[in-house]
Amino acid sequence: MSLQEATTAGKWRMCMCVPVPFIFSTSNCTFINGNGSKQTTPSYPTSVPSTAIQSYSTTEPRMPNIKLFCGSSHPELARKIAERLGIELSKTTLSKFSNQETSVEIGESVRGEDVYIIQTAAGEINDHLMELLIMINACKIASAYRVTAVIPCFPYSRQDKKDKSRAPISAKLVANMLSVAGADHIITMDLHASQIQGFFDIPVDNLFAEPAIIKWIQDNITDWRTSIIVSPDAGGAKRVTAIADRLNVDFALIHKERKRANEVSSMVLVGDVKDRVAILVDDMADTCGTICHASEKLLEAGAKKIYAIATHGIFSGPALDRVKKSPFEAVVITNTIPQLQRMRESNKIQVIDVSSMFAESIRRTHNGESVSYLFTHVPM
């Protein structure tokens, strides 16, 4: 019987392949220290905690065809994100060769998978950046379907323009490196300058900490309705006015002039803060020279209480000593950078957990949904 006859007689049938849900196996991230010892992140139960994002089901396999990896910069945040997504971190072994070159070993198949790699700009930034690039490239050449770099605090973001002769635009260089390594998508939070998104030829989702900051203010400052939101420099005016509008309160501005990097020479306050709660809002708290000088200016102007809120708590150099001596009621930052040690060293430092925002952005990206909801809401 010919093929045509068999087909006509109905003896040949076409079969449609039905995809089988992918079930995640137990996995961990392993870090090899310089002395050769191993440190393994603890496994977490597969059940979703009560604080997980509401849209997740606890009875069905969650998010098939996704792999979540973490670098060595912030495993605590990566674990929280994985918990909220109801998945486990995939296996990686991160170490250094004897000549201090970075070694990355992806411990499981990523072929055809939607890969997310969590790595922030903290601690040894250059080593962590190189580690991220190698992880991206390793997944890409292992036939990952898509590789997304989740970078809560973007490295070199303050070097986004030429502010003097022969200065590099390092943020653009980092963008090029990520693209060349094989990244298909970037998720970050509160870029120092939003135009950095234009340095990329791939999609960039720049999440805002603003909804989480507003929620913290409403939950923790009893007289927030009569407060005033203050920007420590002209560059942050847009951020401050957005928060002030959402809270329906006034805003003020401090104009600063610098002699050199990380050193402020003079400040001028524009706005009335007398007998009010002043809330300084900035994107970064690095050496804390700016916000501490600003707090003194606000105190001189008659503010009765002063808070500082920043997305990225870098706290380099004399930052913690300055915070201890400052008139702040609290210095509030998010956990885009590890803060546990800083909280031990200063009782003024408080942390806003933004893991739910990154988890929801990953979930929405994986499912092909819009992430614009996160610009105004905090997932619970």
204-252 confidence digits (pLDDT tens): 999 999 999 999 999 999 999 999 999 998 888 999 999 999 999 999 9
Do 35 and 178 sit in the same domain of this protein?
A: yes
This prediction's pTM: 0.81
Q: Is residue 78 part of a domain?
A: yes
Three-state secondary structure along the chain?
A: CCHHHHHHCCCCCCCCCCCCCCCCCCCCEEEECCCCCEEECCCCCCCCCCCCCCCCCCCCCCCCCEEEEECCCCHHHHHHHHHHHCCCCCCEEEEECCCCCEEEEECCCCCCCEEEEECCCCCCHHHHHHHHHHHHHHHHHCCCCEEEEEECCCCCCCCCCCCCCCCCCHHHHHHHHHHHHCCCEEEEECCCCHHHHHHCCCCEEEECCHHHHHHHHHHHCCCHHHCEEEECCHHHHHHHHHHHHHHCCEEEEEEEEEEECCEEEEEEEECCCCCCEEEEEEEEECCCHHHHHHHHHHHHCCCCEEEEEEEEECCCCCHHHHHHHCCCCEEEEECCCCCHHHHHHCCCEEEECCHHHHHHHHHHHHCCCCCHHHHCCCCC
- The per-residue pLDDT for 267 is 81
Task: Based on the fold, state whether residues 85 and 231 are members of the same structural domain.
Answer: no
Residue 7 within a domain: no
Ranges in the chain, pLDDT < 70: 1-63, 257-265
Residues 202 and 225 in one domain: no
Question: How high is the pLDDT of residue 31?
Answer: 59
In this predicted structure, what is the pLDDT of residue 173? 98
Q: Is residue 159 part of a domain?
A: yes
Q: Do residues 196 and 222 both lie within one domain?
A: no
| Virtual torsion, Cα 234, 236, 242, 246, nearest 10 deg | -110
- Please indicate, yes or no, if residue 147 is contained in any of the structural domains: yes
Domain holding 114: CATH number?
3.40.50.2020
The range of the structural domain enclosing residue 112 comes to 29-39+65-208+356-375
Residues 226 and 310 in one domain: yes
Q: Is residue 54 part of a domain?
A: no
8 within some domain: no
**The amino acid at 143:** S
Is residue 9, in this structure, part of any structural domain at all? Answer: no
Q: What is the pLDDT of residue 40?
A: 53
**Residue 121 within any structural domain of the chain:** yes
- Residue-level pLDDT at 181: 98
- Regarding whether 199 and 134 lie in a shared domain, the answer is yes
Say yes or no: 222 and 336 in one domain. Answer: yes
- Residues 93 and 224 placed together within one structural domain of the fold: no
Residues 308 and 361 in one domain: no
| 252 and 154 together in one domain | no
Looking at the fold, whether 190 and 223 belong to one and the same domain comes out as no
Conformation bin of residue 143: beta by default, left when phi > 0, alpha when psi is -120 to 50: left
166-208 pLDDT, tens digit each: 999 999 999 999 999 999 999 999 999 999 999 999 999 999 9
Structural domains of the chain, count: 2
Judgement on whether residues 189 and 219 belong to the same structural domain of the protein = no
